[in-house]
Chains A and B, each alone.
Chain A
Amino acid sequence: MSTFSLKHTPFHARTGALMESQQWRRWAGHVVASSYELLHDREYHAIRSAAALLDVSPLYKYMVTGRDASKLLDRVVIRNVGASKTGQVLYTCWCDEAGKVIDDGTISRLGEQAFRLTSAEPSLRWLHLNAHGFEVDIDDVSESTAALALQGPTARAILQQLTSDDLASVKYFRLIQTTLKGIKVTISRTGYTGDLGYEIWLDAANALPLWDALIAAGTPYGITPCGMLALDMARIEAGLMLLDVDYVSAHRALIESQKSSPYELNLGWAVDLTKERFIGQSALRAEAARGAGWQFVGLEVDWMSLERLYEGVGLPPKLPTAAWRTSVPVYEGGAQVGYATSGCWSPLLKKYIALAHLQTPDATASKQLAMEVTVEHQRKQAAARVVKTPFFNPDRKRS
């Protein structure tokens, strides 16, 4: 008898034991926790007040090595990889020939000719298709590499107990190869929460001892295993987009209008048009000259407006308890000018925030718009204001 089961991450023996809520979800063919506890509130607050421990092993990870490794990556992604230094991490996206975003992720330069690329979707084929004529090895290390994110104000203090290297010297978007309680790891100062935080990359075989070491060292600092529900709220506060939620991969889009360029995703800063050649360059050059038609911005829903809508039906404002991911229209004077793709009530900021695609003329900061909300089965429009992201950007993230 054959039965199929979704994959477990290398930490499953620990995460499974913690699971109280039985709220699992799928991520890249794996089961991961939506929340461990019955409610995800405490997990969310740990991100902002202590340290949250997240199992991010399902990320796709590729080692790109060899003489032409940086040449290949430079050809694929929009940022300048060749100019990066060993120990640096680049957040980037990559595009198809028409300059539309396929996926986004990070590139860690582990050596002169060694890089680790992470992605949300499988990328092996795309890398291979681009590698014609290059002397480069591309290894899918998704399964063999385990990954944890430790995010929150006490993250550094927790890790520092387990290593003799000085983590304070590891700047934002830099990495260090070190050991944590004797276990070989790469620690990058990166994350998906917009907070002080680190991501730890290690051999999957060492996953459990590392987990245990972190829990032991972190307990006095409030370390809290945290699921995807809490993370989703934190990443919206940080203004970070999510593939398949906030944008559609150019490789998956069924129609042109579903695709987005880096400029349309607020990633114009990352496009290096001066590079000799990368996929999508000529289209992006033209777009840069022309100006992007869309922008990806933050929206802040006006509380008073929301309150009035609920008052109309005799209720106090009802707020989403978790992040939502269904696209809703955004209006300007009755005409639709865009759509919000994810949003949440920020318990920290005490604001109802959302990430939205807006047509460029309506995407200027402070612009007054309206976002659709459903109030007691009726579609209404709540006033909302365009704001710059991130919504939450603590100094500790970089310091």
Chain B
Amino acid sequence: MSLSYDAIVIGAGTNGLVTAHLLARAGRKVLVLEQATGEPASRDIGWIPPQVIADLSLTKAGLTIDTADPWAAIALEGGGRLELSSNLQRTAEAIGRLSARDAAKWPEFCARMHKVASVLSALYSQPAPDVETTEPGELLRLGLLGLKVKGLGRQGMIDLLRLLPMSVADLLDEWFENDALKAVLGIAGVMHLRQGPRSGATAFNFLHHHVGSPPGVFRLPASNLSHVLAGLPGVEVRRGAQVTRIRVAQGRANGVVLKNGDELAASLVLSSADPRATLLGMLEPGWLDPGFVRAVGNIKCRGVAAQVSLTLAAEPSFKTLSVAPSLNYIERAYDDVKYGRVSANPWLEARANGRQVDVHVQYVPHTISDGKALGDVVVQKLCEHVPGLRESITARFVLTPADLAAQGLTEGQRYHGELTLDQILFMRPVAGWTRYRTPIGGLYLCGAGTHPGGGIAGGAGRLAARQILNDPRL
């Protein structure tokens, strides 16, 4: 077997491609293997850190970021909608029609949340802090982060310390009284999480989804990132190539085996697949210590979000629409999934892009894959607020966590590991292995399962590539 590539990247998602391109730009010969055969996704949801855009000159390459404005519109119980936009004044006016008290608090709420999120944003743009370090450089970096925190001022620091472990419901109850407002904000706290808004630390998830957005915007932007990355020259991407084995010799990864039996050699293997699938599924068994195997097996990775994609005959009347009348509604939706059921009344959020409508639905356990029933529920719920929608649907496509799991994504969790306090920063993907390395020499992780995690397009991929290029072996 000849060594034809410097590096093989598993997975052609945004993180995999960002890693691949950054390695290619550093002169490495890179092959990307993607199991899917189809075209790259046309739309990606997620904040793209500015460093990613700069490093790969993505703006020049045609990157467009669609920050929907209004970023959320929630269907009100008595009819009508509450629209939230990036314009704080306009949003406050909209909220004021429901609650003058809440409207008055909106600007301060947005400012305070933005301040706390700015700390996360700084943390997300660099490797996870190594709190165990004794190395001077890392200690300095920790010190600078500490200064950044101190720079928040007294109130900001208190917010940071208090908020992260709180439930998003408690956070919102402290600020607001209107159910619809709290629900539409609360959604960001449980996005891709098998928790309800009353669960601890959902306030962190809320802030995570605010990182990178301007004050007053609590949803991730959409972009054409995959498309742009796929169009960049410099790496070979092979689609329809499923990796079944990562080969190891003398404790080092030396290539992969494809489903069709092909063996490909490389001195570096990088996986943007989720850590559990990579390390417990693809990696040749027998090389990992039991403590590490346990830690990887314990990564909480419970997919709960399904996507229903509708193609309409005509552009719908909305750009975005959320169905979640109250925090209790979301909480009850969560109750179902706790006991292994699909939410009888799921919360959903639709985003329209031309005639295409993508609906995020929660909660759907990864153990159930009745896409038909789910699609019906979603259409029914939307129709309650969008008259004539049903008649307008020309195509419908449902993707459940079970479907994603069948494609190899562990438990159908799109973030490759839930974003809970025990699975972020120096705990992601597992404690002690936060620098994209694995116990196997030459094998790296570069997907959303690593820092800074899901919802941040290309963030992990960029940091992984930098780590690899810094490591002495290459």
Contacts and interface: CB of A to CB of B under 8 A. Distances in A.
Direct contact of A and B (CB under 8 A): yes
Interface of A: 71, 75, 97, 126, 129-130, 132-134, 276-277, 279
B286 A71 contact: yes
Contacts of B251: 277
A352 B251 CA distance: 49
Contacts of B250: 276
Max chain B C-beta neighbours (<10 A), residue from A126, A129, A132: A132
Contacts of B291: 97
Contact of B290 (A71, A126, A276, A277): A126
Contact of A75 (B284, B286, B297): B286
A341 B183 CA distance: 66
B5 interface: no
A279 B286 contact: no
Interface string B245-281: 0000011000000000000000000000000000010
Given A129-B294, A132-B280, A279 B287 contact: no
A192 to B, nearest CB: 28
A61 B239 CA distance: 50
B293 A132 contact: yes
Contacts of A97: 289-291
Contacts of B110: none
A97 B293 CA distance: 12
B287 A277 contact: yes
A173 B208 CA distance: 62
B289 A133 contact: no
Contacts of A279: 289-290
A133 B286 contact: yes
Nearest to A72: B286
A125 to B, nearest CB: 9
A18 B12 CA distance: 74
Contacts of B240: none
Given A97-B290, A129-B293, A279-B289, 7 more contacts: A71-B286, A132-B280, A132-B285, A132-B290, A133-B280, A277-B286, A279-B290
A239 B287 CA distance: 35
B166 interface: no
Nearest to A125: B290
Contacts of B228: none
Contacts of B285: 132-134
Nearest to A278: B286
A75 B289 CA distance: 10
A71 B291 CA distance: 18
B288 interface: yes
Max chain A C-beta neighbours (<10 A), residue from B251, B289, B291: B289
Interface of B: 250-251, 280, 284-291, 293-294, 297
B289 A134 contact: no
A134 B286 contact: yes
B431 to A, nearest CB: 14
> Chain A at the B interface: mostly helix, strand, loop or mixed?
loop
A132 B289 contact: no
B432 to A, nearest CB: 11
Contacts of B290: 97, 126, 129-130, 132, 279
Max chain A C-beta neighbours (<10 A), residue from B280, B284, B286, B291: B286
Nearest to B279: A132
Nearest to B287: A277
A277 B285 CA distance: 12
Contacts of A71: 286
Contacts of B280: 132-133
Max chain B C-beta neighbours (<10 A), residue from A75, A126, A130, A133: A133
Contacts of B287: 277
A126 B294 CA distance: 11
A279 B293 CA distance: 13
14 contacts: A97-B289, A97-B291, A129-B290, A132-B280, A132-B285, A132-B288, A133-B280, A133-B284, A133-B286, A134-B286, A276-B250, A277-B251, A277-B286, A279-B290
Contacts of A132: 280, 285, 288, 290, 293, 297
Contacts of A133: 280, 284-286
Nearest to B291: A97
B50 to A, nearest CB: 40
A75 B285 CA distance: 11
A81 B402 CA distance: 42
B442 to A, nearest CB: 16
Contacts of B293: 129, 132
A89 B278 CA distance: 38
A292 to B, nearest CB: 22
Nearest to A75: B286
Max chain A C-beta neighbours (<10 A), residue from B280, B288, B290, B297: B290
B285 to A, nearest CB: 2
A242 to B, nearest CB: 25
A301 B289 CA distance: 43
Contacts of B289: 97, 279
Contacts of A277: 251, 286-287
Nearest to B293: A132
A133 B250 CA distance: 18
B409 to A, nearest CB: 20
A279 B286 CA distance: 10
Contacts of A129: 290, 293-294
A253 B146 CA distance: 36
Nearest to A282: B251
A262 B72 CA distance: 64
A18 to B, nearest CB: 43
A9 B269 CA distance: 54
Nearest to B297: A132
A73 to B, nearest CB: 12
Nearest to B284: A133
A71 B286 CA distance: 8
A297 to B, nearest CB: 31
A279 B250 CA distance: 14
A310 B284 CA distance: 65
